[in-house]
Amino acid sequence: MILLWYILIPAVAAPLAWLVSRSRPDLARWVALAGTALPLALVTWQWVSQAGALKAAFVAHGPGAAGLVQGTWLADVHATWIAPLGISFFLAEDGLTLIMLVLTFAMGLLAVLASWRGITARVGFFHFMILWTTAALAGVFLSLDLFLFYFFFEMMLIPMYFVIALWGHERRVYAAIKFFIFTQASGLLMLIAILALYFIHGRATGVYTFDFTQLLGTQMPSGTAFLLMLGFFAAFAVKLPAFPLHTWLPDAHTEAPTAGSVILAGVLIKIGAYGMIRFMVPLFPQAVYDFRTIGMILAVIGIIYGAIMAYAQTDLKRLVAYTSVSHMGFVLLGIFAWNTLALQGVVVQIVCHALSTGALFILVGTLQDRIHTRDMAKMGGLWAVAPRMGGTAMFFALASLGLPGLGNFVAEFLILVGTWQVSRWAAVLGAVGLVVATVYALWMMQRAFQGQETHALRFDDLVPRETAMYAALIAALVVIGFYPQPLIATARQTVTAAQQMTAGSPLSPEAASAAQTMIVDGATADDGQ
């Protein structure tokens, strides 16, 4: 039942925030704060108290268990919804879900905090939208019925559209429509794929259902599977975003208000990664394997191209947006590598990218609130004006370039070392992306914060509310950098289960490592002579 609360609390808080704002706009902020902090506390409590259960689930159903069976969930809700069509209200939670939920509510909380001063127009409606998005996101991560998943997937789109279109910057309507069309069009492709899967499974077995656990392993011709996989891939690749479907992201990020950027970068685009791990690869392992080369090429292009594009920008927020393209390239790479190392890296990357990029977006937002521009040509030397802000920016710039000791490094290292075992060139090129990351991160620092301060800008340094926010994010990144094990342990069962679902296909690590060993053995045998 606890799962319902995760959706209900923000969903109920949303209209409440709107209602109270009519009499007292500021109260809406507190309602929103409660509406995100409460589920955050709840999910954290669940995480802490269920740590043992997670481990047990791994031991009991871990290596050797045949796929994902009911009972490996930490909690689940299974109710019939539209029975004639085989649609059920199926929510379930495992380690990955737990992480995604923590992220969702933490980013929601940050979004509320970040707009405490910035948002003054239609306060109630704004927080309604933020809470509604949060509720829908929780639903996305919890639902295991494909129809329900699609329902939440679409539900989250609308408030996000309004957040960008109503509270955004100069070209907000353009950006909002672009965001909407990209997501909607690719979402429809996924819907078609879901329906096709539904009918194929129904015809073959006579059971018409949208239940993901039952749809697993549906037999179909490989051509059909490939097309359906592409349907899912389109939706998730747009969300992620993967090259070349990324162009909505710089616009949406740049134009969105800070809170919108935080939720976009922190959670929304992670749906792409989550969906691929949870649904796409387990449903179509063979097709994903056939697509692997192309997928990895796209990922590598995304890493390097995104980094160069970040370097090319003059708008600070756009720069940060392009770094997301680069970082999500690593995620895509890890998913296509599909071994334990890479997948664990993906999970860590999901979390750390949310923290570091979310922080950078908040930083750009606070800067814009103060100096009313995002153009780096009009900045320079800001460190001298606001040293705390400069130091904070330096920290997150370094996190962005993958400095060891911070979480992002652990993630990128795991992904690349996992990728190396599948494709050496992809790993090498991904590592080259780290060099380009250095270029853009340091370039950003130089243009905005270092050098001579020439524009006579005077503004306040970080206030305590902001300092506290950044301190929490910095602490989280450092802790993950030196001790990511809790995260890894939490996701372990999900990763193992997901891999077992693909056990029979050439995608499975066993198949890959067998091939690898053969090569190595061959090589050493040759060398030994």
Partner 1 sequence: MLQLLWIVPALPAAGFVVLLLLNRHLSRRATALIGAGSVGLSAVVAILIAVSFITSPPPGDAYRQVLWTWFDTGGLAPQIAFYLDAMSVVFMVVITFVGFLIHLYSTEFMERDEGFTRFFMYMNLFVASMLVLVLADNLLLLYLGWEGVGMCSYLLIAFWQKDVQNVYCGRKAFIVTRVGDTALIVGLFLLFTQLHTLEIQPLMAGAAKNWAAGSGVAVAAAALLLGGAVGKSAQLPLQTWLPDAMAGPTPVSALIHAATMVTAGVYLIARTNVLFTLAPDVRLAVAIIGTVTLLYACFSALAQHDIKRVLAYSTMSQIGYMFLALGVAGWSAAIFHFMTHAFFKALLFLAAGVVIEALGGEHDIFKMGGLRRKLPTAFWAFIIGAASLSALPLITDGFYSKDLIIETSLGAVDGNAWLWLGALAGSLLTSIYAFRLVFVVFFGEQQTPVTLHPRWRMKLPLVVLSVLSVVGGFVWLPGWMGGFHPFETFLDTALPVTQTVAGSFAYTGVAALLTSLIAVVGVALATVWLVESRAALARFAARPTPHDVQTFWLNGWGFDWLYEHVFVIPVKWFARVARGDLVEPAFSGIAWLNLQAWRALSASQNGQLRVYIGVAGVGLAVIVAFVVLR
Contact footprint for partner 1 (CB under 8 A): 243-244, 246-247, 250, 305, 308-309, 311-313, 339-341, 344, 381, 383-384, 394, 398, 403-405, 409-410, 413-414, 416-418, 420-421, 427-428, 431-432, 434-435, 438-439, 442-443, 445-446, 449-453, 482-485, 488, 492, 516, 520, 523-524, 527-528
Which residue intervals of 376-506 are DSSP H helices?
A: 382-385, 387-400, 407-420, 424-448, 464-482, 485-501
Which residues, listed in sequence order, are joined to residue 315 by a DSSP beta bridge? 375
Cβ partners under 8 Å of residue 188, min gap 6: none
- State the DSSP string of 420-444: HTT-HHHHHHHHHHHHHHHHHHHHH
Give me the least distance between CB of 239 and partner 1, in Å please.
16
Kindly tell me which of 80 and 446 has the beta carbon lying closer to partner 1: 446
Q: CA torsion angle for 234, 239, 245, 250 (degrees, to 10)?
A: 170
Query: Least distance (Å) from partner 1 to the CB of residue 431?
Result: 5
- Tell me whether residue 82 or residue 435 sits nearer to partner 1 (CB atom): 435
Residue whose CB is less far from partner 1, 43 or 310: 310
- Choose between 127 and 246: whose C-beta lies nearer to partner 1: 246
In angstroms, give the least distance from the CB of 126 to partner 1: 29
* Smallest distance, partner 1 to C-beta of residue 197, A: 27
DSSP state of 378: G
User: Which residue, 228 or 350, has its beta carbon nearer to partner 1?
Assistant: 350
What residue has token string 């100069």? 170
Please report the sign of the dihedral spanned by the C-alpha atoms of residue 521, residue 524, residue 527, residue 529. negative
* 108 vs 250, beta carbon nearer partner 1: 250
Residue 457's SS3 state is coil
Q: How far is the CB of 454 from partner 1 (least distance, A)?
A: 11
CA angle 404–408–412, rounded 5-degree value: 90
Please, what is the minimum distance in Å from the beta carbon of residue 311 to partner 1? 5
SS3 78: strand
- Cβ atoms of 484 and 407 closer than 8 Å: yes
Ramachandran angles phi, psi of 469, nearest 5°: -60, -50
Q: How far apart are CB 167 and partner 1 at their closest, in Å?
A: 24
- In angstroms, the CA 157 to CA 139 distance is 13
Residue number, 165 or 399, with CB nearest to partner 1? 399
